[in-house]
Amino acid sequence: MLSTTPDHIETTPRPDIEIRDDRPPMPPANGETPSPPGSRPVFLVALAVALAAMLAAAVWYLTSSVTVDVSVDGASQPIETRADTVGDLLADQGIVVGVDDSVVPSPETELTEGAGVEIRYARPLTVTVDGVETVHTSTELTVGAALAAVGAPVDGAAVSVPLDQELPRSGAAVVIVTPKSVTLDDGGRTRTVTSTDATVGEFLASAGVTVGDSDRLVPSPDAPVTKAMTVTVTRIRVEAEVRPEPIAHGTTERDDAELTVGTRRTETEGVDGSKDVTYELTYTNDELTSEEVIESVVTSEPVTEVVRVGTKPAPVQPSASPGASAGGAAGGLNWAALAQCESSGNPRAVNPAGYYGLYQFSLSTWASVGGSGNPADASVAEQTNRAQILYNRAGAGQWPHCGKYLFG
C-alpha cells in the first residue's frame, strides 16, 4: 500500500528469468532400477517445455508493468505497477479519495510508462472577511494558494495566518481585515487613518491614542472597524480651583430713645468676612462646561453692623408761612446727597406712587410746610427750603430710606 510519506515505496517483486542446472544426474534412490535409455528424450522435452513457460511468464511480467510517479499532497515517489488505469492504481495501493479530493489525471485514465499521478486531499477552510464568515473546501497546499483559489481579498489586508504556511489536512480558519479609511476625532482635532485593525480598541492602540477613565469614546472599544466610520474621543478633564470670596456682613438696628425719630447712628461698623470656596471645574475638549462648589471654608467671620435708630418724638414746629426760611439745624445738613438718593437730583421727578420733586414730597406734606401746587413745579431753592422746614419739624425719618445721607 502507498504511504503518504515520500520515503515509503511498495513494489511487486520480479521473477528470476535465468534458470541454469549444471549438476550430474542423480543415482536412483532406494535401489531402484535406473530409467531405461530410451526414456531420456522424454525427460528433456518436458524440461524444455517448463523452461519455455517460465521464460514466457517472466517476459509477460516485464512487459506488462509500468513505473509511474505518484504525488500525494506534494510528496512524490515512483511506483512500479501492473495496473491498467489510475483508478486501478489507487485501488492496488489502498488509496481512498473522496468526492472533494483531487486526482489528476482522472481515475479512468490509462497508465503509461513515466506517467505522473497527483493526489490532493480536500481541506476545510473557513474565511472571515471583515466579520463575514464563509466556509470552503480546498485542495491547495498553502494558505495563500487556498485564499487565492476562493478569491479572498488579501492585498493590503491583515491576514491572521501567514500566506506561505502549509494548509494542514485538518483545515484552517483565517481572519482577514481589509484596509479601511477611518476618521479619528481626538478631542476636537480630526485626522484620517487607513487601518486594518479589527476593532476600535485595536485601532486606537495602533494610532497611539490612549483613552482616559473620564474620557468618552464612541463607538465602544469592542465595536468592529467599518468603512468610512468615525471614532470620537471626547476629552474630559476635571480640576479643582480655590477662590477667595467675601461674606457680606449683616445689619442690626437697635431702638434708641435718646435719639429723635428719623435719626440713625452707627454704633458698630459692619465688616465683610471672607471664605475659600473650592470649585470642581469640568472641561470638555479644553472648554469649561461646568463648575460646582464642593467645599467652602470660612477664613474670617463677618462683623455685623449695629445701627441705633431714634425713637424720641421730634418737637412740634410752628407752621411755616409760604415765604418762611427753615434755618436752624437743617441748614448744615447734606441736602444734595438726600436729593440724589430720592430723585437722582432731578427737581422734576415724579413717582407714580404720588411723590414729586427733589425730595419726593407728597402733595399733602408739601402743603403742610407752606408749599402750593405741585412740588415738581417749584424751584430748587424752594423745594430745599420746604424740605428743611420738614426736617426741623419731624427729623430725617420723613425719608426712611435716604435720610441717613443728610449726615454724610
Q: Domain check: are 108 and 51 in the same one?
A: yes
Q: Domain check: are 319 and 381 in the same one?
A: yes
Q: Domain check: are 159 and 98 in the same one?
A: no
58 within some domain: yes
CA 254 to chain centre: 67
Query: Do the beta carbons of residue 76 and residue 69 sit within 8 Å?
Result: yes
What's the confidence (pLDDT) of residue 39? 52
Between 18-32, 141-155, 257-271, the lowest mean confidence (pLDDT) is in: 18-32
Q: Domain check: are 250 and 219 in the same one?
A: no
Q: Domain check: are 353 and 319 in the same one?
A: yes
299 within some domain: yes
Q: Domain check: are 250 and 287 in the same one?
A: yes
What's the confidence (pLDDT) of residue 316? 42
What's the confidence (pLDDT) of residue 36? 54
Q: Domain check: are 320 and 388 in the same one?
A: yes
Range of the domain at 141: 123-177
Q: How far apart are CA 30 and CA 182, in angstroms?
A: 107
23 within some domain: no
Asked which of 267, 294, 309 is the last residue of a domain, the reply is 309
Q: Look up the CATH number of the domain holding residue 250.
A: 2.20.230.10
Q: Domain check: are 189 and 222 in the same one?
A: yes
Domains contained in the chain, number: 5
332 within some domain: yes
What's the confidence (pLDDT) of residue 64? 73
Between 40-44, 233-237, 289-293, 349-353, the lowest mean confidence (pLDDT) is in: 40-44
Q: Domain check: are 143 and 173 in the same one?
A: yes
104 within some domain: yes
The total of other beta-carbon atoms located within 10 Å of residue 325's CB is 11
Judge residue 185's burial from the number of C-beta atoms within 10 Å of its C-beta, 0-12 exposed, 13-18 middle, 19 or more buried: middle
Q: Domain check: are 86 and 70 in the same one?
A: yes
79 within some domain: yes
240: phi then psi, degrees, rounded to nearest 5: -110, 140
Per-residue pLDDT at 321 exceeds 50: no
Per-residue pLDDT at 42 exceeds 80: no
Q: Domain check: are 200 and 148 in the same one?
A: no
User: How large is the average pLDDT for residues 224-249?
Assistant: 95
Letter for the amino acid at 266? T
Averaged confidence pLDDT in the chain: 84
138 within some domain: yes
Letter for the amino acid at 90? L
25 within some domain: no
